[in-house]
A = this chain, B = another copy of it.
Amino acid sequence: MRITAIKEVSVPLEGNVANALVSFAEHDVSLVALETDVIRNGRPVTGYAFDSIGRYAQGGILRDRMIPRLKAASAESLLDASGERFDAAKVLQTVLRNEKPGGHGDRAAAAGAIELAVWDLNAKLADEPAHITIARHFGRQGKREGVNVYAAGGYYYPDESTQRLADEFRGYRELGFDAFKMKIGGATLAQDIARIEAALKVAGEGQRLAVDANGRFDLDTALAYAKAIAPYDLRWYEEIGDPLDYDLNRQVAEVYEGRIATGENLFSVPDVLNLIRFGGMRKGQDIFQMDAGLAYGLTEYARMIDAMERHGFDRAQAFPHGGHLINLHIAVGLELGGCEAYPGVFQPFGGYPPGCGVGGGLVRPTEAAGFGLEEKEALRPWLARLNH
């Protein structure tokens, strides 16, 4: 059994939204395919994945460094002990050959796309949903009943108004979501408070509304917002300062009683260990949002969860960033706290196909084999393109 072709296509994100720091109008995502010599129903079994949402496609690093390393590897060196499945950790090690430590940025996303495609592939070889393959591999039961989910949105739009935000969240509520996340920091504190109050009219209570500063705040602003939002008892206060400013995170954690969430821009175990050691994250309370697709894939992500547990945190504190099918399967398979959903933005990757069933605060994967990306209608033309 071997990989016969490795393909990549750069897919532009649809929409024209912005958080406190960046516009997503020019963002794109690498969708990759690992095609094998296993033929089922007349077609090669193929694993698909992408490097999550919110940073960039990585065609250059994939084509210049990683795909040649993978092609140069012997077929056996990529298989697990049974010889019947691919070994994601070996594939990761192969694509990272001769990479120095440190510098966990774009290459972590490039490697993540390939590593995750191995999980889709293995699940398809076993003809089962990826969360089952994942749970089995890591010795977990999996949360087959579904995981906690919230609708992420509330971006800044060119036509900004609190009415628009409330309408957006009402739309998510009609889709079955009962918790929401919105952006802050792209307007004045007073304007953001008005937006939070508008959103709360839909969310109903603070615990159903999280706010996300996308790493924008300095310490003074972080503390001013902390004080201003404290009375609302919000679900969490996310990515407050620069993602690497562990000291700022610690200082906010010392005064802000509610949950803090961060980690979507930490792309390696050493970075997560620094957050654990220096960031003041509170056991049983604060939220870790690392995202496998941006961070070398599930092999590295599982090591991050291990690092959390070794330091006394609970995997229920992990809510991966991303809001898409791959992280839903990971959250279910690894029994994480939950995941986000982008029902309205970041197409064709955001959100879940109709079969996923959102309700009662939970979302469940379908019975499709692998991550089920083929069930996402907007993705199908891109998957088809990879097949030619």
A interface, CB within 8 angstroms of B = 10, 21-24, 26-27, 54-61, 63-65, 98-108, 214-215, 242-247, 265-268, 270-271, 273-274, 277-278, 294
A242 to B26 CA separation, bound complex (whole angstroms)? 34
Q: Which residues of B contact A268 (CB under 8 A)?
A: 244
Smallest Cβ distance from A229 to chain B, in angstroms? 21
Q: Is the CB of A101 within 8 A of B278?
A: no
Q: Which residues of B contact A101 (CB under 8 A)?
A: 21, 214-215, 242-244, 265
Q: Is the CB of A274 within 8 A of B278?
A: yes
A54 to B103 CA separation, bound complex (whole angstroms)? 12
Among B23, B246, B266, B270, the residue within 8 A (CB) of A245 is: B270
Smallest Cβ distance from A20 to chain B, in angstroms? 10
Indicate the member of A58, A102, A104 with the most B CB atoms within 10 Å: A102
A-B residue pairs in contact (CB < 8 Å), sample of 21: A10-B64, A22-B98, A24-B98, A55-B100, A57-B64, A60-B64, A101-B244, A101-B265, A102-B242, A102-B265, A103-B104, A103-B105, A103-B267, A104-B105, A105-B105, A105-B106, A105-B107, A106-B106, A244-B271, A245-B270, A277-B278
Copies in the complex: 2
Q: Is the CB of B100 within 8 A of A244?
A: no
A85 to B72 CA separation, bound complex (whole angstroms)? 47
Among B60, B61, B108, B246, the residue within 8 A (CB) of A103 is: B108
A215 to B247 CA separation, bound complex (whole angstroms)? 24
Interface class of chain A by DSSP: loop
Q: Which residues of B contact A266 (CB under 8 A)?
A: 102
20 additional contacts (CB under 8 A) given A22-B100, A56-B65: A10-B64, A22-B98, A23-B98, A26-B98, A59-B60, A59-B64, A60-B60, A101-B243, A101-B265, A102-B242, A102-B244, A102-B267, A103-B105, A243-B270, A244-B271, A244-B274, A245-B270, A245-B273, A274-B278, A278-B278
A61 to B247 CA separation, bound complex (whole angstroms)? 31
Q: Which residues of B contact A274 (CB under 8 A)?
A: 244, 246, 274, 278
A56 to B278 CA separation, bound complex (whole angstroms)? 31
**Least CB separation from A216: chain B residue:** B101
A55 to B104 CA separation, bound complex (whole angstroms)? 12
A59 to B105 CA separation, bound complex (whole angstroms)? 15
Known contacts A59-B60, A105-B103, A107-B105; is A244 also within 8 Å of B270 by CB? yes
**Least CB separation from A263: chain B residue:** B102
